[in-house]
C-alpha cells in the first residue's frame, strides 16, 4: 500500500494506491469518517459495475452497509449537465441529504461528473474517488477539478471540489482495454518529463512490464505519477503558476482532439503527439540537449502505437489559439529543458509553432499505427 498526501489551502486528503484495495474499502471509509458510515451513493457506469460490483460491495456487506447505485452510461458524450440533473433527481428521490457521501467509481468521465454532482447537490456534499482507469488513477481523481462539457467545448462548466480521499485499486486496471492503458501511461511519461527524472528512467527500464499490465510495475508508476501531481497541486491549487506544467503536451494535444472531433484519438494519445510537438519547439530553440530530446521522443513512441492524425498543420495551429489554458489571448507552451524540468514560454511565434506541428505530422505519417 502506498499513501500520498495532497495538501492544498482548501483541502488535505490522501491518495491510497494498492493492489486489491477494494477488499478493504468500507473499513477504510469507516475509519476516515470517524467510526460510522453515512448513506452511501455509488456513481458508476453499467460496464464497470458488471465487472467489479462483487469486489466493490464485499467490504460493505461485511459491515451491513448497502450503498445505493446510480448509473451514468459510459462515454464522454454523457458528461453533460443533463446527466447531472438526472442523477441529482435520483439522489433527491431517495432522500440523499447533506451528510450523504458519493463514491465515484469509474474513469475520468464518472469522476468529473460525480465530483461536480457532489459539488452542487445541496450546495455541496462529500465524495470520494475510486478511479478505475489508469488516467483517472494518475490524473483526474486528484486535484479537485470537477465538471461537465458543453457543445461549445470540454469542461466549460465546473467547480473545484476536492474528494475526501482517493482509493486507487490497481487490480481493476486488469480489465482495462490495452489502448486505454497505453494512453494513460502517456500522462505518466508527461509526469516524468516535467518533474521526475527517476520516474522517467523507471518507465524506460520497465516498458515491457508496464505495457503487459504487470501489477507491481503499474502500482509503482501510478504512485510516482500521483506524487508528481499531488506535489504540483499542493504548491499551486488554482493553476496560477506551477500547476501549468501539468499541461505539457496539452496545447497541441487539445488542438488534435478538437480537429478530429474527439473521435480518432484518445486523450493520452493526442497528448503524446502534443508532447512531441512541444519538444520540437524546445529543440528548435536549443533549449534541450539532443540526446535528452531523443530519449523523450523514443519513450513516447515506445508506449504506442499512436494513431495517425487526420488534420492539416494550419488547422491544428489555429486551434491552439482557443486553448482554455491561454490567459488574455497569450499562447503558453510548456517546453522541456531536460528530463524532469520544464520552462513556460509565451513567445512562441506562429512560424515556430507551424514548423513544430509539421515535424510532428511528418513523424506521425511515418510511425502511426492506424
Ligand atoms: N479532473 C481532472 O483533473 C481531469 C484530468 C484529466 C482528464 N479528465 C477527464 O477525464 C475524462 C477521461 O477519463 P478516462 O480516460 O478515464 O475515460 P473514461 O472515463 O471515458 O473511461 C474510458 C473507458 O473505459 C471504461 N472503463 C473504465 N474503467 C474500466 C475498467 N477498470 N475495466 C474496463 N473498462 C473500464 C469506461 O467505461 C470507458 O468506456 C475526460 O472527460 C477528461 O476531461 C479530468
Ligand atoms: Zn491530460
Question: Rounded CA gap, 265 and 154, in Å?
Answer: 15
Using only the alpha carbons of the chain, give its radius of gyration.
Answer: 20
Which of 152, 148, 105, 100 minimizes the C-alpha distance to 126?
Answer: 100
* pLDDT at residue 231, as a whole number: 94
Give, in degrees to the nearest 5, the angle at Cα 242 between 240 and 243: 75
Please work out whether the CB of residue 172 comes within 6 Å of at least one atom of ligand 1: yes
CA 266 to centroid of ligand 1, rounded, Å:
10
250 alpha carbon, closest ligand: 2
d(CA 251, CA 258): 11
Residues of the chain with pLDDT under 70: 322-329, 368-370
Q: What is the pLDDT of residue 353?
A: 96
Sequence spans of domains, the chain = 2-175, 178-367
Q: Which pTM was predicted? A: 0.96
162 catalytic? Reply is: no
Residue of the CA atom closest to atom 22 of ligand 1: 107
Which of 30, 55, 206, 243 is catalytic? The answer is 243
CA atoms within 13 A on the CB side of 361: 18
What is the per-residue pLDDT for 239? 78
Catalytic residue (choose from 254, 280, 283, 331) = 254
| CB-ligand 1 contact for 268 (6 Å cutoff) | no
pLDDT, tens digit, for every residue of 118-136?
Answer: 999 999 999 999 999 999 9
Whether the CB of 247 sits within 6 Å of ligand 1: no
106 lines ligand 1 (CB under 6 A): yes
Q: Is the CB of 171 under 6 A from ligand 1?
A: no
Closest CA relative to residue 324, chosen from 190, 149, 126, 140:
149
Domains 2-175 and 178-367 share a fold: no
The CATH code of domain 178-367 reads 1.20.1090.10
Residue 255: CB within 6 Å of ligand 1?
Answer: no
Alpha helices, H only, the chain: 25-32, 46-62, 81-93, 108-120, 134-135, 178-195, 197-205, 207-211, 215-235, 250-259, 267-284, 290-302, 313-320, 350-367
pLDDT reported for residue 148? 98
pLDDT recorded at residue 327: 60
| Test site for ligand 1: of 136, 143, 248, 274, most ligand atoms within 8 A of the Cβ | 136
- What span, in angstroms and rounded, lies between the C-alpha atoms of 325 and 247? 8
Pull the grid cell for residue 130: 475510486
Q: What is the CATH number of domain 2-175?
A: 3.40.50.1970
Amino acid at each position: 500500500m502506498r499513501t500520498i498526501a495532497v495538501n492544498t489551502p482548501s483541502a488535505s486528503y490522501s491518495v491510497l494506491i494498492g493492489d486489491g484495495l477494494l477488499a478493504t474499502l468500507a473499513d477504510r471509509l469507516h475509519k476516515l469518517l470517524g467510526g460510522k458510515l453515512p448513506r452511501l451513493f455509488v456513481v458508476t457506469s453499467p460496464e464497470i459495475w458488471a465487472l467489479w460490483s462483487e469486489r466493490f460491495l464485499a467490504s460493505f456487506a461485511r459491515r451491513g452497509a448497502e450503498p445505493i447505485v446510480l448509473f451514468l452510461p459510459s462515454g464522454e458524450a454523457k458528461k453533460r449537465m443533463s446527466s447531472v440533473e438526472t442523477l441529482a433527481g435520483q439522489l433527491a428521490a431517495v432522500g440523499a441529504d447533506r451528510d450523504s457521501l458519493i463514491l465515484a467509481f469509474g474513469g475520468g468521465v464518472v469522476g468529473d461528473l460525480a465530483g461536480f454532482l457532489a459539488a452542487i447537490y445541496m450546495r455541496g456534499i462529500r465524495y470520494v474517488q475510486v478511479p478505475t482507469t489508469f488516467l483517472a488513477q494518475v490524473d483526474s481523481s486528484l486535484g479537485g477539478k470537477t465538471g461537465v462539457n458543453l457543445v461549445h467545448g470540454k469542461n466549460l462548466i465546473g467547480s473545484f471540489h476536492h474528494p475526501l480521499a482517493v482509493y486507487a485499486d490497481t487490480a481493476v486496471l486488469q480489465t482495462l482495454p490495452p489502448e486505454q492503458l497505453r494512453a494513460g501511461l502517456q500522462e505518466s511519461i508527461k509526469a516524468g518529463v516535467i518533474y521526475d527524472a527517476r520516474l522517467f528512467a523507471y518507465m524506460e527500464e520497465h516498458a515491457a512490464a508496464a505495457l503487459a499490465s504487470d501489477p507491481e510495475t503499474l502500482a509503482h508508476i501510478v504512485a510516482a505519477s500521483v506524487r508528481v501531481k499531488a506535489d504540483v497541486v499542493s504548491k499551486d491549487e488554482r493553476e496560477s503558476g506551477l500547476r501549468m506544467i501539468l499541461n505539457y503536451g496539452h496545447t497541441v494535444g487539445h488542438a488534435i482532439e478538437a480537429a478530429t472531433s474527439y473521435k480518432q484519438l484518445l486523450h493520452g494519445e493526442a497528448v503524446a503527439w502534443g508532447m512531441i510537438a512541444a519538444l520540437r519547439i524546445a529543440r528548435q530553440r536549443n533549449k534541450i540537449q539532443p540526446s535528452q530530446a531523443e530519449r523523450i521522443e523514443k519513450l513516447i513512441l515506445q508506449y504506442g502505437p499512436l494513431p495517425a492524425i487526420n488534420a492539416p498543420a494550419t488547422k491544428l495551429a489555429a486551434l491552439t489559439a482557443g486553448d482554455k489554458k491561454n490567459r488574455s489571448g497569450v499562447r503558453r507552451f510548456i517546453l522541456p529543458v531536460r528530463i524532469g524540468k520544464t520552462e513556460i514560454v509565451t513567445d512562441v511565434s506562429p512560424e515556430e509553432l507551424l514548423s513544430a506541428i509539421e515535424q510532428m505530422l511528418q513523424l506521425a505519417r511515418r510511425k502511426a499505427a492506424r
